C-alpha cells in the first residue's frame, strides 16, 4: 500500500511513541522523505530515522521545541530543499500528571502556560511556518496538503492526565476547526483523538505493577477490549494525510477502542 508515494512528510515529536509510529507508517506507505523532529532525545530520533530509512524513505532530523517560534521555523527549514510539504503531523505534546481533577492545588498557572505553549501554540506556529511549503505546487491535481493534529479524547470528554492537559486538547480541537476553514482549499486540517496508548509516555513515574493494572483496566473497560498501540493510532492519523481523505477537513476522529462510549448516557431500560 503506497498511497503516500513520493510524499514529503514532517512529524513533530517523532523520537518515540506515536510520533515514531507515524513517521514509520508514512515511510512504509511510500513517503519519499520524513522530517523527524525531536526536542531533546537525539538517540531516540536516530532510531526513528533508522526505521524510516529501512522502509525506503529519506529521514531528516530536525531538533527543536515547538513552543519556540524560532525553533518551528528551523524545523520547517529542514524540508525546504524538497520544495514542498505534503503532510504535517503536529504530534509533539506534553502534560502534567495530576489525575485527581478535584485537587485544584495540584496544578498552577505555569502548568497551563507550558501545556498550552506546546500543545496549542506549538501546532499553530508549525502550521504558520510550514504554510508556504504546504501550499506549494507539485502534488497531484485535486490533492490538498494535509495537517494532522494529535489531540486526545481528553479534549472531548474532559478526562485525562490533568485539567490543563484536557483543556489544551480541547483548544487544539477548536483550532483544528478554525484552521480548516481558514486554510481551505489548499490545506486540509484534521485531528485524531486517541485514548490510552500503550507506550511509556502513559506510565511516566509509575511502577510497572501500576502500569499493568492500568493496561488491564483499559482492556476491561473499552468496548473493543483493547489497549491501543502507537501503531493502531498511527494508521488512523496517516489516513488523514492520504488521498482516501481528500474530501475530509475540519474533522476530529476518536481512535480510542470505544472508550468514549462509556461517557454516553446509559440505554433506557
Going residue by residue through the chain, which has 269 residues, state the pLDDT in tens, using 9 for 90 and above. 799 999 999 999 999 999 999 999 999 999 999 999 999 999 999 999 999 999 999 999 999 999 999 999 999 999 999 999 999 999 999 999 998 999 999 999 999 999 999 999 999 999 999 999 999 999 887 899 999 999 999 999 998 899 999 999 999 999 999 999 999 999 999 999 998 777 766 666 567 776 777 777 777 777 788 777 899 999 999 999 999 999 999 999 999 878 888 754 433 33
Share of the chain above pLDDT 90, in %: 78
Burial class (CB in 10 A: 0-12, 13-18, 19+), 50: exposed
116 has catalytic annotation: no
Enter the C-alpha cell of residue 113.
502556560
| Tens digits of residue pLDDT in 110-144 | 999 999 999 999 999 999 999 999 999 998 878 99
Alpha-helical (H) ranges within 35-162 are: 42-54, 69-77, 109-116, 122-134, 154-157
Number of domains observed in the structure of the chain: 1
The reply to whether 212 falls in a domain is no
Parent domain of 37? 8-199+229-258
Q: Specify whether the CB–CB gap between 221 and 179 falls below 8 A.
A: no
d(CA 150, CA 129): 18
- Confidence (pTM): 0.92
Enter the C-alpha cell of residue 66.
515547538
The reply to whether 193 falls in a domain is yes
pLDDT of residue 240: 98
Asked if the bond preceding 144 is cis, omega within 30° of 0, the reply is no
The reply to whether 269 falls in a domain is no
- 95's CB contacts (< 8 A; 6+ apart) are 115, 160, 161, 162, 164, 165
Whole-number mean pLDDT of the chain? Answer: 92
Enter the C-alpha cell of residue 263.
461517557
pLDDT of residue 268: 31
The reply to whether 86 falls in a domain is yes
The reply to whether 207 falls in a domain is no
The reply to whether 99 falls in a domain is yes
pLDDT of residue 204: 62
Which residue in the list 38, 82, 165, 240 is annotated as catalytic?
165
| Tens digits of residue pLDDT in 81-95 | 999 999 999 999 999
The reply to whether 42 falls in a domain is yes
pLDDT of residue 256: 85
CATH number at residue 65: 3.40.50.720
pLDDT of residue 267: 34
The reply to whether 210 falls in a domain is no
Angle subtended at Cα 145 by Cα 140 and Cα 151, rounded to the nearest 5 degrees: 150
What element of type H or E holds 219? helix 208-221
Amino acid at each position: 500500500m503506497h498511497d503516500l508515494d513520493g510524499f514529503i512528510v514532517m512529524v513533530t515529536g517523532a523520537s518515540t511513541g506515536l510520533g515514531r509510529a507515524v513517521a514509520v507508517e508514512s515511510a512504509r506507505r511510500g513517503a519519499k522523505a520524513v522530517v523527524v523532529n525531536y526536542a531533546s532525545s537525539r538517540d531516540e530520533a536516530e532510531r526513528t530515522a533508522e526505521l524510516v530509512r529501512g522502509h525506503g524513505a529519506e529521514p531528516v532530523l530536525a531538533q527543536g521545541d515547538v513552543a519556540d517560534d524560532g525553533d518551528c521555523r528551523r524545523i520547517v527549514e529542514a524540508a525546504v530543499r524538497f520544495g514542498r510539504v505534503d503532510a504535517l503531523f503536529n504530534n509533539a505534546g506534553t502534560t502534567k500528571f495530576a489525575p485527581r481533577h478535584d485537587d485544584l492545588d495540584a496544578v498552577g498557572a505555569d502548568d497551563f502556560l507550558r501545556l498550552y505553549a506546546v500543545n496549542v501554540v506549538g501546532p499553530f506556529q508549525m502550521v504558520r511556518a510550514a504554510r508556504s511549503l504546504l501550499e506549494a505546487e507539485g502534488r497531484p491535481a485535486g490533492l490538498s496538503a494535509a495537517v494532522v493534529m494529535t489531540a486526545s479524547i481528553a479534549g472531548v470528554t474532559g478526562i485525562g492526565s490533568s485539567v490543563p492537559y484536557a483543556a489544551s486538547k480541547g483548544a487544539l480541537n477548536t483550532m483544528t476547526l478554525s484552521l480548516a476553514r481558514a486554510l481551505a482549499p489548499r490545506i486540509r486540517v484534521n485531528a485524531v483523538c486517541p485514548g490510552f496508548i500503550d507506550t511509556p509516555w502513559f506510565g511516566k513515574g509509575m511502577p510497572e505493577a501500576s502500569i499493568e493494572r492500568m493496561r488491564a483496566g483499559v482492556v476491561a473497560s473499552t468496548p473493543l477490549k483493547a489497549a491501543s498501540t502507537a501503531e493502531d493510532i498511527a494508521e488512523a492519523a496517516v489516513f488523514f494525510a492520504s488521498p482516501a481523505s481528500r474530501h475530509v477537513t475540519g474533522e476530529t476522529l476518536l481512535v480510542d477502542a470505544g472508550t468514549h462510549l462509556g461517557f454516553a448516557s446509559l440505554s433506557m431500560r
